[in-house]
Amino acid sequence: MPETEGQHDDPERRFRALYTAYYPAMLAYAIRRTEPAEDATDIVADIFTTAWRRLDQVPAAPADRLWLYGVAQRVVAGRRRSARRLRSLTSRLRAEQTVAAPQQPGGRDRARDHLIAALDRLPPAEREVLQLVLWEQLSHAEAAQVLGCSANAVAIRVHRAKVRLRDLLTARAGRATVPDGPPSTLPLPRP
């Protein structure tokens, strides 16, 4: 977030700037990790309520963005304590996507559903680091700051996550490599 002179003197002004700059990013983060319609709004509210309460602890730009991702990660983690709930959300997310997103030629939506289902089967730490790097577009160093580890550790986790993801897709599709097209059958896990 670009800082302006005197913004630290006016908490609401500072919060407004923070909110305006990062509302879309936090909303996207929430939608990527939960059922979009309702939970995402609650998650965004929780993230920014925390920021408002702890405004004096929010670092200056550009670190404020990573600070918010850290809060977002904890908020989402709090809502994902149950593995059962996670599986349920996955299936619901898939169902909603099937309804909401237009079908594309060549079965791309099925491929995406399969990929997301496989992604959800990754260990949480590997899934999160992959999402931060590919979806949130954070560098390894930035992701390391959010996750509280070294950039080297992020690189290792990303590599492992991709290997595991390929294995999952390959195993379920019965193919030797990640396919260019959609896998034939990838049933979702029952909740």
Partner 1 sequence: MDLDTMLMQADPAQHRELDPPGSAAAEQLYRQITRPEPARRLGAGWGVAGGPARRLPGGWRLAGRPAPRPLGGWRLAGRPAPRPLGGWRRRRRTWHAALAGVTALAAVAVVASVLARPAAGPSAAGRAPVAAVLDAAAVRAAQGAGAGRPPGPGQYLYVDEVVAKGLGSVQGCPGAPMTVRAWVAADGSGRQIGTFPAPCQKLDFDQTYPKGGVPGWLFAYIEAGSLPTDPAALQHAIVRRFEHGHALPSATFAYAAMFLNAGSPPALRAALYQVIEALPGVRNLGLVRDRLGRLGQGVGLVKAGSRSELIFDPGSTSVLEDEMVAVRPPQDGNNYLPAGTVQQYTLYVQQGVVNSAGATPGRAAG
Which residues of this chain interact with partner 1, rule CB under 8 A? Answer: 12, 15-16, 19-21, 23-24, 27-29, 31-32, 36-39, 41-42, 44-46, 48-49, 52-53, 78-82, 84-85, 88, 91-93, 97, 100-101, 108, 111-112, 115-116, 119, 130, 134-135, 162, 165-166, 178, 180, 190-191
DSSP 134-191: HTS---HHHHHHHHTS-HHHHHHHHHHHHHHHHHHHHHHHT-SS--SS--S--PPPP-
Tell me the closest approach of the beta carbon of residue 6 to partner 1, in angstroms. 19
State the nearest-atom distance from the C-beta of 72 to partner 1, in Å. Answer: 13
Closest to partner 1 by CB, 116 vs 151, is: 116
Amino acid identity, residue 94? R
129 contacts: CB under 8 Å, gap ≥ 6: 143, 147, 154, 157, 158, 161
**Closest CB 79 distance from partner 1, rounded Å:** 5
Complex with partner 1: residue 79 or 157, whichever CB lies closer: 79
Hunting for tokens 């600070």 — which residue is that? 67
